[in-house]
Amino acid sequence: MLELALPGAQFEPSFLEAERELIALGKRPEELVLTADAFRVRLQRLAYRRAGIVEPGKVGETTLWLVEGEAYLGRISIRHSLNDALRIVGGHIGYDIRLSRRGQGLGGQMLALALPHAHALGIDPAMLTCDAGNVASWRMIERCGGTREAEYAHAGVTQYRYWMPTRP
């Protein structure tokens, strides 16, 4: 059964497999392979962000992992507020599905599961952005109820901005 879960040690083997998938395709530098210690540090950093303990210029965020049993399938981050940068690119919600599980409809399921979490954080509606060239992402956002507000260029890339209700 698919569910959203807080990042935890039980997902470490599967999460590291997902990282190795990125390295194999050259989408992640090999030196970023996580050791057990680095994985624990990552979990602590995510807990700090969830508690609002963030670096200057960042905002609090709750990261949830899409899992099936102990298998890590993807992540979704719900930013508790927007700063100037997130108003341009990023928005309240960012997500990705592990490479080996893309194209299976998991992103839409994950986004639908995350909306009540965003609502519980006082976010309604949520702003999302994506590259115009990322057809799978903008179609998923629209299928989940997002309304495109704007098309604009940022750093030479056309972006779409969406607003999505989070209330059940």
CATH of the domain at 71: 3.40.630.30
In-domain check, residue 147 = no
State the residue for tokens 């993807």: 74
- Mean pLDDT score, 67-92: 97
The answer to whether position 163 is within a domain reads no
Span 2-46, pLDDT tens digits: 999 999 999 999 999 998 898 888 777 766 666 778 889 999 999
Domain boundaries, position 43: 2-123
Query: Which pair of structure tokens corresponds to residue 104?
Result: 């299976």
Residue 138 inside a domain? The answer is no
pTM passes above 0.95: no
- One-letter amino acid of 18: A
What mean pLDDT comes out for the span 40-62?
A: 96
How many separate domains does the chain show?
1
- Considering the domain boundaries, does residue 75 fall inside one? yes
Structure confidence by residue, pLDDT tens digits, 115-159: 999 999 999 999 999 999 999 999 999 999 999 999 999 999 999
Q: Looking at the domain assignment, is residue 112 inside a domain?
A: yes
Does 155 reside within a domain?
A: no
Instruction: Specify the pLDDT at position 28.
Output: 74
In a domain, 54, yes or no: yes
